Structures are given as C-alpha cells and as structure tokens.
Structure 1
Amino acid sequence: MDTITEASVALLRRDGRASFSDIARQLNTNRTNVAKRIGALIENGDIRIVAAVHPRLLGLNVLAHVTIRSEGDVGAMSEMVCEMNSSIFVSEVAGHNQLVAELHMANMNDLYNDVHYIRSIAGVLEVQVIIYERMLKSFFLGEEPQMLELALDSIDLHLIELLQLDGRLGYSEMGEQVGLSISGCRTRINRLIETGAMQIGLLRQRTEITNELVFGFGFIATSDQSELIELLEGQRGLEFIARTVGRFNLVGTITFNDLLGFNDFVTEVRKLDGVRIAEQWLHARIRKERYQNSLHLIRETIS
C-alpha cells in the first residue's frame, strides 16, 4: 500500500463513516485519490466497513484474554476454540504460547466453564486468563455505553443490522428500508454511536500472504500508565488496548508494516520510566474475527 492508502485505512479504522472528502483534507490530497484507492480495496474484498454492537448491550459482561500453551496439532485445537460461542477472536501465535483467544460471556460462571472446556482439549498444556477491567481502544468495543440514555426500538435494531452488512450504507438507502427520512436515520445513527451502543470501523481481510505484522503486547507498568497509553494511541496500526486484571496491567494489539516499525515502537516503550514490555507475540495465523452479533437478546428486552 502507498502512503495515502495506508493513512486512509487508518482513519477509516477509527471512523468507518468518515467521508472521503474529510479524509482527503486530513491527508492534504483530493477526494478522488482517496475514493479510488478505498473503493478498489472494498471491491476486491481486501477491506470491509461494518458496525458492531457493544457486548454490554447483549448481556456479555465478562471479557477475557486467554493464552494457550499446547503440543500437537495446533490447527485442530484452534478449530475447537473457534467453534465456541464465546470466542470472538482466535489466533495461532509465535512465541511461548501457541494460541490466543478473546472470549465474551455473560458471567464468571460461563468463563469458568469455557476455560474448563479449553483445558479438556487434547494437547492443551496450560491456559492463562486475563480479565478486561476496561477496554480503552478497539474497533468493536468503544467507551462504555451510556445505558441510561438508551431506549432502543425495532427501527434502531434494523438500522444496526443494515450497518453490520455495510457500514457506509447511505442514509437514503437506509431510510427506504426502515421507513425514515434521511435526517431521521442520521439522528438515530449518531445517537447509537455517541452513546457507545454501536461503533463503525474498517476491517482488513487477513491473509497468509499479507505483508502486515500483527503483534500482541502484554505490559507491566510500575507507575502511571498515561504515557504508555498515549504512545499506544499514537500508533497508526493500533487495533486495541485493554486495561486488565491478572498477569499484565495492559494488553494491546498493533499492526506494523515491517519489523523496523515494530522495533521503533519497542524502543520508544523502553524509554518510558516504570514501564517494561513483559511479553510480545506475533499473530502468525488469525483463525477467527467476529464482530457482528445477533441482536435477539436486545429484541427480547424490548418485545
């Protein structure tokens, strides 16, 4: 990818409905340069722009990062973890562990049962669990939703489902399908985003021939974490940061174009007082990324 494409992708990852004109202004180029690049990526299936609902609205209140050390056929194990309803991200990794998964479930009892199931899989040697105390940055999980301000109805759910398929669907097209005016659709969608109920962003198609390097990080900070968080948020390839309870203070994922970018980031982290990188792992083969959820749980509460 050239510089304009990379920068456009980074901006759309954080705001999937950003106009090509706005992106062009930020990159000091013209709309045509942005539109032809992003349009080609969408048409080829290299990227998707979709909406995701905050897990809290679905009653999924326990979010966990799970690392698995194993022996034997890692592919077979990863398939079994992928089949779990609670797994939204599963990756084969290079490093001390062989698999990393992210699980979303309703309560701690469900987490206990899911971890017990993973430990029962043939070849699994060790399972370590870290609980997300709070997600600080992520495509699929933004700020905690303002639950008291939400009063979702069937039209809101229909809009969300349309945006789960195409996050850049026009207000006119949505209005025709849900029976609202353009301004009515815009108002509802802005409310969903502003309250944290929904987030729209760009997903890149993960392939084994990509030049991207996707690294996971576990950090232990013995002092204020604000400088570390600021450094993380400044990374163009940032995918998520979570404040965690367990082995690390923070867990994050960053995509780099090359090892030079990775090394530069690690060097900057090591300069921060009271912060050390406890662990790094390369996502060698991402097996599952699921950000779209059935809305039946919300429907049950409003029916």
Structure 2
Amino acid sequence: MDNLTKQIIAVLRRDGRISFVNIARNLNVSRDNVAARVVPLIESGQIRVVAALHPQVLGLTVSAHLSISVSGDVRPVIQQLEKLSSAVFISIAAGAYHVIAETRHSCMSELSAEVSVVRSLRGVVEVQVLIYDRVLTSFLHREQPNVLSYKFDEIDIALISLLQNDGRASYSDLSQKVGLSISGCRTRVLHLLRSGVIQIGAIKQRSNMIDDFIFGIGINVNGDIDAAARILSSGWGLEFLARTVGRFDVLATVSFSSLRDFNQLVSRLMALKSVTYCEQWLHVQILRERYEYPIEAIELGTAARA
C-alpha cells in the first residue's frame, strides 16, 4: 500500500462520507486517482466505512484499557475475553504485556467486577487498568455526544442501522429505505453527526497485519500533555489519543509502515522535557475491533431534541 493510499484512508477515517472530489482537493491529487484507490479497497473488504454509535448514547460512560500479563499459552485467556460483551477490542501484543483489551461499561462498579473476572482467569498473572479520562482523537468518540438533548425516533434508528452497514450509502438509497425525502435524510444524518451521536469513518481489515505496524504508546508527563499530543498528531498514523488515569497519563495508538518511522516518533517524544517515561508495544494480531452496537438498545424518545 503506497503512501497516497494511506493518506486517503486516514482522511476517510476522520470523515467516512467525504466526497472523492474533496479528498482529492485536500491531498492535491485528481479525483480519478482517489477513486481508483478507494473503490477496490471497499469492494475487496480491505476497508469498511461504517457508522459507529457513541457508547454514551447507550449509557456506557466508562471506558478502560486493560494490559494483561499471561503465563503460558494466551489462547485460553483470549477465548474467555471474547465471551465478554464489554470487550470491544482484543489483541495479542508484543511488549511488557501479552494481551491488550478495551472495554466499555455503564459504571465503575461494573468495570471493577469485570476486572476481577479477568484477574481470576487461569494463566492471568497481572492486569493493569487505565481509565479514559478524556478521548482526544478517536474514530469512535471524537467529542461528547449531546445525548441529553437528543430524541430518537424510528427513522433515526433506521438510518443508524443502515449506516452501520454502509457509512457511504447515498441519501437517495437511504431515502428509499426509510421512507423520508432525500433532503430529510440529509438533515437527519447531519444532525446525528453534528450532535456526536454517531461518527462515520473507515476501518481497515486487520486480520493479516501485513501493511502496517500498529503500536500502542503509554506516556507519563511532567506538566501538560500538549507538546506530546502535537508530536503524536503530526502524521497520518495517529488512530487514538486519550488522557488516562492509571500508570500512564497519555495513551496513543499509531500505525506505521516502517519501524524506522516509528522509532523516529518515539525519539521525538523522548526528547521532550515534559515526557518522563514512554512505553511501547506492538499489536501482533488484532482479534476484535468492534464499533457496531445493537440498535435495539436505543430507546425511542430517549430525551428531548434540542
């Protein structure tokens, strides 16, 4: 995968419904050049453009990152983790810990109970927990949704369901399937996006892990995180960035096509006076990366629309 294709995917990750014309304008290339790359990727399943429902819409207000150390074969532990409905991300990692998981919960007591379950699994030696204090960059929760002022109706839920399957579905197709005018569908979708209820973006098929190295980075800082955040955000590879409570102050996920480029990023971070510690790990195999939620969990008329 060449550098231009990676840049196009990065743009689509941030805005899955952006037109080929606007992608071309942003990257200073032709529209045909963009289409020639994106269409085969979507048709082959290498990337999917989907709508992700913000977890807070479903009352999932607590998100956590688990670093799990395992003695022996990790597969039995993975099999048990895959049974947890709260686990939206699971990977086998190379680093200080062998398994990485991300979970979402309705409250801290629910998280605490689940961490106890994970610690009790045969083979688990240690579980380190990071609580997401504020997510700064993510495909999933870019900003806090205005849930308290949003009232869901059947058309909203139908649109979310369709967009979870195909985030680039045309307004014409959406109109035919939900029985609303094209302009009405456009208004509804834009409202869902602007309120933060959904985010539409591209996700890559990670099963083979041959195009990119996916790294996790945990950072401790003395003072504010602004300088570290600027370095992490300076390239196309940043996928996730959050302030955290726990053994790290900052957690990031970045993708690189070469170890040299990743090493240069880490060197820049370590050169900052504000950075006191920087730990890295490689996601060797991503086993679960889930953004869809059952729309049945959305209650009609959850709140009054602003």
TM-score by length of 1: 0.97
User: Root-mean-square deviation (CA), in Å?
Assistant: 1.4
Structure 2 counterparts to residues 40-189 of structure 1, below 5 A: 40-189=40-189
**Which deviates more, 142-151 or 234-243?**
142-151
Task: Look up the match of 2:19.
Answer: 19
Amino acid aligned to 2:108:
M
Tell me if 1:33 matches 2:17: no
1:298 maps to what in 2?
298
Aligned counterparts of 2:209 and 2:130: Cα–Cα separation in 1: 31
The one-letter amino acid paired with 2:180 is L
TM-score by length of 2: 0.96
C-alpha distance in 2 between matches for 1:211 and 1:15: 22
CA distance in 2, matches of 1:32, 1:69: 48
The corresponding residue for 1:254 is: 254
SS in 1 for 2:247: coil
CA distance in 2, matches of 1:168, 1:111: 34
Give the deviation of 1:3 after TM superposition: 2.6
Question: Which digits, 9 at most, give the CA deviation of each residue in 1:27-66, with x for residues without a partner?
Answer: 2111111111110011111110000011000010111011
SS in 1 for 2:291: coil
d(CA) in 2 for partners of 1:212, 1:147: 36
Q: SS of the counterpart of 2:241?
A: strand
1:147 and 1:300 mapped to 2: Cα distance?
13
Decide which moves more: 2-11 or 83-92.
2-11
Helix, strand or coil for the counterpart of 1:265? helix
Quick one: structure 1 residues 176 and 90, their matched pair in 2 at CA, closer, same or farther if it must change by over 3 Å?
A: same
Amino acid paired to 2:232:
L
- For 1:193 and 1:231, locate their aligned partners in 2 and report how far apart those are by CA, in whole Å: 28
Distance 1:194 1:228 in 2: 28
Q: Closer, same or farther in 2 for the Cα pair 1:19/1:199, shift >3 Å?
A: same
SS at match of 2:143: coil
Residues 96 and 3 of structure 1: is their aligned pair in 2 closer, same or farther, counting only changes over 3 Å?
closer
Superimposed CA distance per residue, residues 74-105 of structure 1 (whole angstroms, 9 cap, x where no aligned partner): 02211211220100000110011100100001
Per-residue displacement from partner, 1:173-213 (whole Å, max 9, x unpaired)?
Answer: 00111111111111111111111111011100013351310
TM-fit CA distance, 1:161: 0.7
Report if the CA contact (8 A) 2:209-2:285 is conserved. no
Partner of 2:194: 194
| Distance of 1:129 and 1:48 partners within structure 2 | 30
Residues 58 and 295, structure 1, Cα contact 8 Å, conserved in 2: no
Query: What letter corresponds to residue 217 of structure 1 in structure 2?
Result: I
Give the aligned residue type for 2:118.
Answer: I
Stretches of structure 2 that go unaligned for 5 or more consecutive residues are none
Secondary structure, counterpart of 1:10 in structure 2: helix
SS of the aligned residue for 1:140 comes to coil
How much has 1:272 moved relative to structure 2?
1.8
C-alpha distance in structure 2 between counterparts of 1:112 and 1:301, whole Å: 31
Amino acid at match of 1:158: A
Flag the 1:230–1:251 CA change in 2: closer, same or farther, 3 A.
Answer: same
Amino-acid identity (%)? 45
Q: Cα deviations across residues 112-144 of structure 1 (Å, max 9, x unaligned)?
A: 111111111110001111111111111111201
* In 2, Cα distance between equivalents of 1:104 and 1:300: 22
Q: How many aligned residue pairs are there?
A: 303
